[in-house]
Structure 1
Amino acid sequence: MQKGRDFIKAIHRSFFTLHSNTSISQMDQSTRYRYSPTLKWNPMVEEYFIKAYGADHFSRISTALTCPSCYSCIRVNTLKSTSDAVIEKLLEIFKERGMHDVAVQESSTTWEPDNCCKATLKCTGSAESLKAIKSISKCQFPGLDYVVFVKGSGPHAIHYGDNEGKPLKEVIVSRKCAEAVLRGAQVYVPGVLACSAHVERGDAVAVSVAVEQYGPDGGWGVAMTRGTVIQGSQEDPYYFERDGLYIGQATAMMSRAGMFRVTEGVAVDMKERVYRLPSFYDLLEGEIFLQNLPSIITAHALDPQPGERILDMCAAPGGKTTAIASLMKDKGEVVAVDRSHNKVLGIQKLAAEMGLSCITTYKLDALKSVCHGAESDSLPNTCSAEDARTSDLLSTVNDLQLKDGQYPSKAELRKRIRQLKNGPGRNHTAGGRVEKSKGFSPNSFDRVLLDAPCSALGLRPRLFAGEDTIDSLRSNAKYQRRMFDQAVQLVRPGGVIVYSTCTISPGENEALVRYALDKYEFLSLASQHPKIGGPGLTGSCQLSDGFVEEWLKPGEENFVQRFDPSSDLDTIGFFIAKFSVGPKNI
């Protein structure tokens, strides 16, 4: 276990030491064309997190959230390949693509714990020695040898050129587009917000980000119309706000006119990136799945056994579902449900790609998972994509609800009807068939995974967090408790429930555990294997309105796993709790 932890720490050190030390002095030459974002929070949410973590710790978390992890984590489909075979194929692919930052030569490294019980990498040289860390390696944690790490690099200083005293040609992208680019994606047409005048195909352009700003109406937004012309002067929209928000240099793949005329395609090809992480899009399809390390560990915490019946309550996009099925060696039944028709189709497609036959999918709202009557999952209804759209169209017209005291406008209604008539967008799967379930009988599953919808405040890179409020965090927590109540009814006595989220909010993590243990006497926290994350938070927190949020009691913190994005493990923010279910008649 310690060997695996030391390995990730060394990747983290090499990622930042190798490139940051040489970059900082260069980046100081320009206070504008650099990447140094500051994450903006709702003031009350920021106060809440400072109470939970302390000011210094929360500052480190906020900084870590603005950067991608220093490595990509890949789960190998052991039904089709092996870790060694995947590593060999990836090295060959990266060499063919000229990705020398990834496909470096491997050599031996030695590890030695220091006085603080942390591992340090013993190197005889400086930068060259740090390159000795394997660029693609198997995970060293026990039982996770089918997980492969691919090391990235950054932050890099980028020279954008002088352009002979003229303003740089520039493309401004949306915040969500920028977050994807920092993870290795390209800039596609829908992500472009603004562009300099006279940009032609083949031109070099600087890529910056428009992050939401606090407006005079009290809300957050981007006060920029798509198609805005950038002049390169201080009168440009968000000129000063874009200081420190440049993510790389690219080559325009189409003219400025083309970027705002067509609806799809690569707008600019990223040539120099602040963070260089390889893209795995359409790479070794069916053999590998790009997945965060805590998500993989969640499937292990559930400890699924061959022949069992397991429920994944909020299964999309299917990563944990397929991980569970693989751990069961494709023997038994994994029931995956989601309330979105297209997301269920996506799970089906992923299961087929990975060659898994034990996965059964249903369209079902997790809040309606329990069926106490005669009708249950034994009599599913089948509907096509067209049936689903027709049903949604009728419900839209007939089941209008008052929202904030007002009905939707005619324009909003026409837009919704048009979307439903035209079907799903180009990024969604369509045309398949999905079975609808009316719910499942109580005590009908051996194990239940509830990877609950949450505020997602642990995902990274993240460039904005101001839209989340204390009220929205509380609303998430109430929603999660209702889902957990369903999970408790569905699992049999002697079974297991695993609850997980990708947020750093204690109200959606430790507070849920406190709720579960206080309400259900037959539930108890269970040990997790492997245990890689840190302990949970104990005590309580009084909010500004006087509400006291109860967390874990002393002695319970080591039964959960909390993944801190600012720790040496360098993962997303994540939380895992495992419950054993005792006799329900007490």
Structure 2
Amino acid sequence: MAIFPKILLKPEVEAYLSSIYKNDELVAAIGPLEAEQKYESLLNNLSHPPAFTTVRVNTHLASVQHIRSLLCEELHKQYASLNVPVLQHPQLPDILLIPVIGPRKDLQKLTNEVIVGAQCGSAVLRGAHIYAPGIVSASKFMKAGDLVSVYSDIEGKCKRGAKEFLGTKVFIGNGISELSRSEIFNSNGPLKGMGIKMIESIYLSPSFDNLLPSYLFLQNLPSSVVSYVLNPQPGERILDMCAAPGGKTTHLATLMHDEFFKMMTHLLAEGPPFLPESFDRILLDPPCSGMGQRPNMAYSWSLKEVTSYQPLQRKLFTVAVQLLKPKGILVYSTCTVTLSENEEQVAWALETFPCLQLQSQEPHIGREGMMGAGLSPEQLKQLQRFDPSEAVLQGMDFNSLQSVKYEDLISLANKDCIGFFIAKFIKVQ
């Protein structure tokens, strides 16, 4: 039973998303009831965090097993001696998984209240503390050291500095105020430092605030899969076309022992700074509508904004094909769940560029592609889609996890992550 409401969307965007997940081809294959259930599950689960926190190990500094041991010790301190399992992914050897427990229904709501913005609230649900700039409202007499309940203003209607807020708010946990109300709202200079130290979030998720920063990099599970699918080899020339902030770039560098080349490209209207057929492998992870990100209790974009990315993605794709060597590999990925930015882009690419062929992906731990873009069943199997349509750990605790088999936990991690899409092409001529 979900504590949070389903993700809040503008009516036009919800209608658009509904048409995707209940398209004629899909409904004909699985039936209207199952299609409706999958869609409703998607809306509910987008507002909740993934079932596991995923971290990538810096294998340049130490072995995965050594860093896993260090992480277990740190989590033992954080979780007051609870036995928290840390799993190594069998198909992604430098990836560690920590289960996220919740939503917890036994937390007491306190008199003192703090309101934070929706983006800050989402970070809290994934283990973050609250820094002062993220606080929108606080109770009238709140002092440093007070216990406070924290709420997320998912509609963005709370006025900054308000002493009380009666609008729509979602309880996300309790913490200790590091600052008084007057220090937060009467300061003349820019706010800095921690505002609320979370002590019990509604989701029990580890905090990585200064936790083994040299050894670990927070990265969503499908984002880690992308680098393995590209499979860069030492000595090859690699292009990461949209490398910001660069998490996938550093992963590619690690996999090929730092023998690579990367470029951030956002000004392609002026022409790419490379000769045609310059690269052995290209990763194109373009700007997208981001509708697969979790947790997200409120998605404020308009339909015009959501559907504005396809032309830019196609422009970037065209340049990628030009820059790719014959027999080179192109991997296209997004963190969204729409057809227009995913399967429809694949269908367009195969029709527009006869030199491209789809390739099977390794590892393939997500689902196959979604029907509705006119791709064949064989082509759909070569695609990799992650849909956050299963909330698999809700209602469990660390004790009950002890009885779940390792391989079953890994399967759960593969299913209940962010929404994501991956396609792999080879340039045959």
Counterpart residue number, 1:258: 183
Counterpart residue number, 1:443: 277
Distance, in Å, in 1 between the alignment partners of 2:125 and 2:79 is 19
1:247 is aligned, of 157, 172, 175, to 172
2:226 is aligned, of 271, 279, 298, to 298
Given that 1:76 and 1:288 are in contact with CA atoms closer than 8 Å, whether structure 2 keeps it comes out as yes
Counterpart residue number, 2:98: 150
Given that 1:35 and 1:246 are in contact with CA atoms closer than 8 Å, whether structure 2 keeps it comes out as no
What amino acid sits opposite 2:97 in the alignment?
A: F
TM-score, normalised by the number of residues in structure 2: 0.87
Counterpart residue number, 1:566: 389
Counterpart residue number, 2:52: 71
Distance, in Å, in 2 between the alignment partners of 1:42 and 1:290 is 30
Distance, in Å, in 1 between the alignment partners of 2:270 and 2:218 is 31
Instruction: Specify whether residues 336 and 298 from structure 1 end up closer, same or farther in structure 2 by C-alpha distance, changes over 3 A only.
Output: same
Instruction: Specify whether residues 203 and 488 from structure 1 end up closer, same or farther in structure 2 by C-alpha distance, changes over 3 A only.
Output: same
Counterpart residue number, 1:40: 8
**Larger relative contact order, structure 1 or 2 (CA cutoff 8 Å, min sep 6):** 2
Counterpart residue number, 2:163: 229
Given that 1:171 and 1:206 are in contact with CA atoms closer than 8 Å, whether structure 2 keeps it comes out as yes
- Secondary structure at the aligned position of 1:324 is classed as helix
Counterpart residue number, 1:388: none
Q: How far 1:99 moved relative to its partner?
A: 4.1
Distance, in Å, in 1 between the alignment partners of 2:370 and 2:242 is 25
**The structure with more radius of gyration:** 1
Counterpart residue number, 1:209: 152
Could you tell me which runs of 5 or more consecutive residues in structure 1 were left unpaired when the two chains were aligned: 1-23, 25-33, 105-133, 213-221, 231-235, 340-364, 371-438, 540-549
Q: How far 1:78 moved relative to its partner?
A: 1.7
Distance, in Å, in 1 between the alignment partners of 2:157 and 2:258 is 51
Counterpart residue number, 2:263: 336
1:523 is aligned, of 353, 356, 360, to 356
Q: What are the within-5 Å matches in structure 2 for residues 368-387 of structure 1? A: 368=270, 370=272
Establish whether residue 93 from structure 1 lines up as the match of residue 74 from structure 2. Answer: yes
Q: What are the within-5 Å matches in structure 2 for residues 316-395 of structure 1? A: 316-331=244-259, 333-339=260-266, 365-368=267-270, 370=272
Q: How far 1:464 moved relative to its partner?
A: 0.7
Distance, in Å, in 2 between the alignment partners of 1:223 and 1:147 is 39
Cα distance per residue 1:258-306 (max 9 Å; x no partner): 1113411111211111001112233223322111111111011111111
Q: How far 1:48 moved relative to its partner?
A: 2.6
Q: How far 1:198 moved relative to its partner?
A: 0.8
1:557 is aligned, of 380, 384, 387, to 380
Counterpart residue number, 2:242: 314
What amino acid sits opposite 2:224 in the alignment?
A: I
Task: Give the root-mean-square deviation of aligned CA atoms.
Answer: 1.8
- Secondary structure at the aligned position of 1:227 is classed as coil
Counterpart residue number, 1:393: none
Moved over 6 A (4+): none
Could you tell me which runs of 5 or more consecutive residues in structure 2 were left unpaired when the two chains were aligned: 22-34, 391-411
Distance, in Å, in 2 between the alignment partners of 1:223 and 1:183 is 23
Given that 1:158 and 1:272 are in contact with CA atoms closer than 8 Å, whether structure 2 keeps it comes out as no
Q: How far 1:552 moved relative to its partner?
A: 2.3
Cα distance per residue 1:313-367 (max 9 Å; x no partner): 0011111101111111223x2213154xxxxxxxxxxxxxxxxxxxxxxxxx255
Aligned-residue sequence identity (percent) comes to: 38
Distance, in Å, in 1 between the alignment partners of 2:385 and 2:195 is 39
Given that 2:241 and 2:264 are in contact with CA atoms closer than 8 Å, whether structure 1 keeps it comes out as yes
What amino acid sits opposite 1:582 in the alignment?
A: V
Cα distance per residue 1:158-203 (max 9 Å; x no partner): 4436x7xxxx211111111100110111111111111111111122
What amino acid sits opposite 1:195 in the alignment?
A: A
2:196 is aligned, of 263, 268, 271, to 268
Distance, in Å, in 2 between the alignment partners of 1:237 and 1:368 is 51
Q: Which of 527-536 and 152-161 deviates more?
A: 152-161
Distance, in Å, in 2 between the alignment partners of 1:366 and 1:558 is 32
Equivalences, count: 390
Given that 1:158 and 1:249 are in contact with CA atoms closer than 8 Å, whether structure 2 keeps it comes out as no
